Amino acid sequence: MSAAQISTAVSDFVLSVSAVLPALTLWRPSPVGSAGFLVVGIASGLGVLRFGQSSPPPILVQAHQTFSWLANVLGTACISAALHNKMVAGHNLWTDYRLLGAALLLVIQRFLPPKVSELATLLLSGISVVTAGILCGMNGNITGVTGAVLYAASGLVIGVEGSFLSIPCVDLFHYALTLGNLAFYSALS
């Protein structure tokens, strides 16, 4: 097993812990936010299992990729919708555009060409993160704005390919998401 795989297993573990804590503690006040963090926690937990071994079985690789996609689509939509629900009286989660968009994408994704699916995923997760940041900013919730900035930076600036100062970018991506999770957790608490 390479050092890069070990470091990625560790960064996935840290990300998983940062998601499981809010998933467990936010269940009562914010079940939708809790569900979003849970999807992120499952995805990163599968990453620990995947990168914690030198030759992971193909089914584990596929499960990790699928849950990572779900975290991107559904996790961010749920966290953003939960923030909206907390800050706007009378917000109806059943008609939340992010959750409806995530549900629609979950249904039609398999029928879309790969490039269209990738674009739809980027668009939906981007809308979720940007609207969370704007809503938190309008309500003076600096930790929510920080979470949105960290989520956006993790995907748009850091990414998962290559390395920076000999640190795999995927690890930096995980650590930025970890800090984003902690900020969103604080915003929802």
pLDDT in tens, 47-101: 999 999 988 999 999 999 999 999 999 999 999 999 998 988 777 776 778 888 8
**One-letter identity of residue 79:** I
Q: How much is the pLDDT for 101?
A: 86
pLDDT digits 0-9 by tens, 109-121: 888 899 998 999 9
Output the pLDDT for position 1.
58
Torsion angle of the four alpha carbons 26, 9, 64, 23, in this order, in degrees rounded to the nearest 10: 0
144-184 pLDDT, tens digit per residue, is 999 999 999 998 888 888 888 988 999 999 999 999 999 99
User: According to the model, what pLDDT value does residue 4 have?
Assistant: 56
Average pLDDT rounded to a whole number, residues 11-23: 96
Instruction: Report pTM.
Output: 0.91
- SS3 for the chain is CCHHHHHHHHHHHHHHHHHHHHHHHCCCCCHHHHHHHHHHHHHHHHHHHHHCCCCCCHHHHHHHHHHHHHHHHHHHHHHHHHHHHHHCCCCCHHHCHHHHHHHHHHHHHHHCCHHHHHHHHHHHHHHHHHHHHHHHHHCCCHHHHHHHHHHHHHHHHHCCCCEECCEEHHHHHHHHHHHHHHHHHHHHC
